[in-house]
Structure 1
Amino acid sequence: MIEYLNSFQLFTDKEINEFIKLTQTRLLKKGDYYMTQNEICNSLSFVKSGIFRSFYYSNNDDEITYCFTFPDNLLMAYSSFISENKSEENIQCLTDAEIISIAKEDLQTLAKSNNNWLMFLKNIAEKEYVELEKWIFNHQKDKAQQRYLDLITKQPKYIKEIPLHYIASYLGITQRHLSRIRANINY
């Protein structure tokens, strides 16, 4: 978490220590939920270890996985976090996990007292927007095989821990189609 905060090149050691004092560490087991649909996301978390999937239910009650969150990344239902409305998504652990969380209220207090934290929140908003745009473009222009190759290239260490039906859902294809793609790729 300290390395992550230092990567923004905004904070002094004292500011980071103040932040750390406001955090809580949580251990979650495989299958646990970080949050479920209709809850309001009132904390920002950092994934120290573990893999999470974000999903929603289609009109047919099918689970649609649209995001994976890996270690050293932030975890939250961002639209719920900023709007304080109920979330449409569920966030579930795919492995045992450890997260470090700070309450939104504490983060807002930091931002009111120090512009560096306000800049941090601005950077997070920009990153979330860029990631969303990239996801939309990739799902519209790239074929499933290319999206799968991108996933295994970016996360080779963790990809084997994700059940194939979640990967297929993320790619927007059937598990059978994913099997064909995997058969055509030489690892």
Structure 2
Amino acid sequence: MNHDTLKKALESFNLLTPAEIDDFIQATTNKRLNKSEYFIKAGETCKSVTFVLSGLLRSYHTSDKGDDLTYCITFPNNFMTAYSSFLTNQPTQENIQAITDTELLSIPKDKIENLAKTSLNWLHFQKIIAEQQYIELEKRIFLLQGTSATKRYADLLKNQPNYIQHIPLQYLASYLGVSQRHLSRIRKDFPF
């Protein structure tokens, strides 16, 4: 499998040496999820981080009423994990499921911890990833609380035009915080 995409992503942090990047890549394993397969299910403990080479993943949890609430969609060229579970070694409350056939490069937590023992750069890298996760969460909260569903849809369409048509309507509506009927009305104003 071609690791160039992951290598470019790691290089973009301007932090890791070429040898450190090679060590990270060597520690990864290829994983393929078919559409609807799970990276992790609620109740399991997350023991790896993955880099999405291709495909789409959705993170969701189930409400007390039994509704699946999609709160994150992970697009290619992004790292992803069940972050709270990964950090605490406790079972996760979330499900991470492939929306499409998906190719991943995964690295186990123990290998990440071993890399961190070899260089302070890895600790800085982990800090940057944690900061990015926080910033993304904050942006998501502000979007949901401070912008209209039409604006949220327009932003998603602008930033991910190649992928939005592959997300089933019910997942997209949940992610945007609207009903499927409302999303259908919004989509009429945005021809593809």
TM-score normalised by structure 1 residue count: 0.97
**Which residue of the partner structure matches residue 66 of structure 1?**
71
**Which residue of the partner structure matches residue 43 of structure 1?**
48
Matches within 5 A, 1:160-175: 160-175=165-180
Matched residue type, 2:73: F
Q: Does 1:110 align with 2:115?
A: yes
**Which residue of the partner structure matches residue 5 of structure 1?**
10
Give the distance between the partners of 1:151 and 1:106, measured in 2 at CA: 34
Give 2:26's match in structure 1, choosing from 21, 33, 40.
21
Give the distance between the partners of 2:23 and 2:8, measured in 1 at CA: 15
Give the distance between the partners of 1:65 and 1:89, measured in 2 at CA: 10
Matches within 5 A, 1:84-103: 84-103=89-108
* % identical aligned pairs: 49
Give the distance between the partners of 2:118 and 2:50, measured in 1 at CA: 21
**Which residue of the partner structure matches residue 180 of structure 1?**
185
Q: Secondary structure at the match of 2:13?
A: coil
Give the distance between the partners of 2:117 and 2:155, measured in 1 at CA: 39
The offset of 1:184, in angstroms, is: 2.4
Matches within 5 A, 1:50-61: 50-61=55-66
Q: Which runs of 4+ in 1 moved over 2 A?
A: 184-187
The offset of 1:185, in angstroms, is: 2.8
Give the distance between the partners of 2:142 and 2:35, measured in 1 at CA: 31
Ranges in structure 2 where 5+ consecutive residues have no aligned partner: 1-5
**Which residue of the partner structure matches residue 79 of structure 1?**
84
**Which residue of the partner structure matches residue 3 of structure 2?**
none
The offset of 1:75, in angstroms, is: 1.3
TM-score normalised by structure 2 residue count: 0.95
Give the distance between the partners of 2:99 and 2:66, measured in 1 at CA: 20
Q: Secondary structure at the match of 2:188?
A: helix
User: Which whole-Å deviations, capped at 9, do the CAs of 1:41-91 have from their partners, x for residues lacking one?
Assistant: 110100011100000000101000111001000110111111111111000
Q: Secondary structure at the match of 1:184?
A: coil
Which segment drifts farther, 15-24 or 135-144? 15-24
Give the distance between the partners of 1:57 and 1:115, measured in 2 at CA: 38
Give the distance between the partners of 2:188 and 2:140, measured in 1 at CA: 25
The offset of 1:186, in angstroms, is: 4.0
Aligned length: 187
Ranges in structure 1 where 5+ consecutive residues have no aligned partner: none
**Which residue of the partner structure matches residue 122 of structure 1?**
127
